[in-house]
Structure 1
Amino acid sequence: MASNFQSSIQRDFIHDFSCSPCGENGFNTEAHHYCSQCTEYYCQNCVSKHNGLYQKHAVLGRKDVNKWEAAPGVVDALESCGMHHGEALQLVCGDHDQLCCHVCIAVDHRQCSKIHPIPDVAKGIKRNIEFQRIPNKIAKLEKQFELMKEARMKNTTPLKKTRAAISDELKTIRKMINEILDKIEKTTLQDLDGMIAKLEKNINKDIETCNGMTVELQNMITAFQTKTKSSESKSYIAYRKSQNMISQANDHLRDISVIECYNVTFQANNLIEELLSSIKTFGAIEVQTGMTKQRKDPLSDPNHVFSVAEYKKYNVKMSDDKCQCVIQGVCEIPCGEFVITDTGNCKVKLLDKEYRVLDHWDVPGNPWDVCHIGGNEVAVCVCSKYADKEGLYFINSTKGKLVSTRKFTFSHRCIGAAHHGGQLYISSGTTLNVYTITGQKVLHQGKVNGTTVEKCAISNDGKTIYITNYDEHKLITLDNNGNKLALLTDPDMEKPTGVHVTPAGHVFVCSYNSGTVLQVDKDGKKKLATLAREENGMNGLSDLFFSSRTSSLIIGRQKDTLLAIKLI
């Protein structure tokens, strides 16, 4: 018993250098000698055996300890504890399969039962095949890192070329915008010059009239004074002609004095500034990595057909909501928060990543669609019986609060909106209108009566536009010039409302009457899958948005709950 206790004390004692042969036999003995040729440490007993076998080896004693492999009190980097620097690794915790120093044992592994000295578990390690393979594995890894470094160094040259090419492209875009602005300025100045020329012509005409009448009146007064000194007949003639002249002069004065002066004013087109200020960059800059072959990520694979992993519901009703929530629009902003429009309670609501209501903004009308503009800014379509309340309201999310910043008004209704490349796509219910810095154009015209153009979505490259035709149960696909590419109908698509396209080109459509969520091919020609039906709780669907962050479809409907469908 005493022997075991003494052995335990001996093993737990910490030495700056321990005897190597004793360590291999499970003993923790202080070393007093070091052989630089064997690179081993020896106690007094073991050094005599070493010297008997290797008489020509140079053995250093404690007086030359500074010439040993490590200086006194300094632990070799390989044997140093990563948690407690300067402490030597001397034990192994079998419970956690972890190398430990005595501080580790005292602090973190006090309750562990499988604590073993390293010399015990290290027996025979040099004969282990895996141990013998370590140098080759390290050499191979070192070679791979050298090759990787060379590849990375080579990569810097094409990156610089890419930077130069994109910079040239940006200059081309800037030049094009400058040309457009120059053209707008030229047209505006031409209109101004034409107007000024017309006004100057009117002014010169009035001046000529004044000059002409002044001369005639001077001649008349001279003639009148001369004739009145003659016979009464000549005086009468002078009187009558003077009367006519006075009447004519008064008529001219009355005509000229109607306009006291000409003032020209200028009303700037704020749409240009507002559109440009809403654009943060000339385009999206993305990193494309060349990767080794591996399983495709469904989010980046445009041909992937999704299936449903789970359905969840989240309550978005607020305590002061007087009516049932009617979620007409859903979108996500880069910070992971969601913005939804609640038409039932005339509110725009801000949700956190767990779909809890953080804040709301009271809308002066009925909010319908919502789309992301840039940063934490969204635009909300508002309909109202009061014309001055209708339009597109821009709202910022700042530190969990919603703040309205500006508003666009249109000559038509505004029930659906999308934004791409600095252009606004606005649905009126019967037309899809696109607004650019150069003005407005009608991209698509549906039937005048009813709702034949509800909502729209734009592909990531801006070349394809998807429109839901609510009344005629259709999904319409256009190119960016308004040419019709496809027309899709399906029994599972009755009264389609929301449409969304992911950056990879996956297209999703939800329908109000059929209570379905469909995945459609990127050409808009065929249904790929029916992801949810009315029996899954899909009823009264209004809008949907795919969150790449959670791989989930977030669906708004005429209920107090928001639906989240996890896709795989």
Structure 2
Amino acid sequence: MADSIRCVGCQRGKEDIIAESWCSDCSEQVCKTCARVHERMYPPHKIVPMKEIQELSSSLLTLSKNCENHPDQKIILYCCQHDTVICDSCVPVSHPNCNPIISVEKAAKNVKHSTAISDLERRIGNLSQVTENILSQNETILEDLKKNRSKITKTVTEMKLKFIAHLDKLESNIHKDIDNKYEQCDETVSQIINSVQLSYDSLSTWKKDIISLKQYASEIHLFKAVKFLDAKTHQQELEIRDIQTATVPTLTYHPSGLESNIQNEHSQTWVQ
């Protein structure tokens, strides 16, 4: 979580006060004075020291209390049919025939022990393992590409000894072809690794976030966070599935016909 954060309530009053705590019910940072006010509300708001949530993702700390489709309306309802949180204005527009629609408070009750959060933790854990395996596999692929590159280069150099007259000219072109194909493979695999690493890092962060939220957040905030991370995890699942089904780049050498064609060809592609 970012350092230094100012009290949100004081900033609204044009005061610049350092926040010492976080109000889980309001999803905002509060100073010592404001924290006491929040604790005296009915029912009392849950106040958590900043040090307890310093590793929690900022996106989860600032989950909006207002409806995405109706920014001036607060999220107070949950549509069981569509599995989403909504406001009063959403009901006649998008959920006129949905049943049941219950309060967020009722939906969030006992969320810490619900199948929704346990299933989300399981999915994140499984996806983390998958991304870790993909990273390992692609690191191995990258090493194999490097080894194959060296082997092919060595083969080409050995051929030079047999066909010195022509390979002096061909060697440069063949090496360039090897390097170009290797760079293409390297770029593709590196992009996969970077993408999967980002997914893995996000999933690792979310796992920590859920642990922290289960311990410190209110049920309503935790419920919102579960829905937020559920969508994010689904997106990661789709991206990882695409990576898993994508064609893995390889670097292989095909010398067939080289000796018989060398007299007639001055430039060929031998690497794929």
Normalising by structure 1, what TM-score?
0.18
* Structure possessing the higher radius of gyration over alpha carbons: 1
**The structure with more strand, counted as a fraction of residues:** 1
Normalising by structure 2, what TM-score?
0.32
Higher relative contact order (CA 8 A, sep 6+): 2
**The structure with more helix, counted as a fraction of residues:** 2
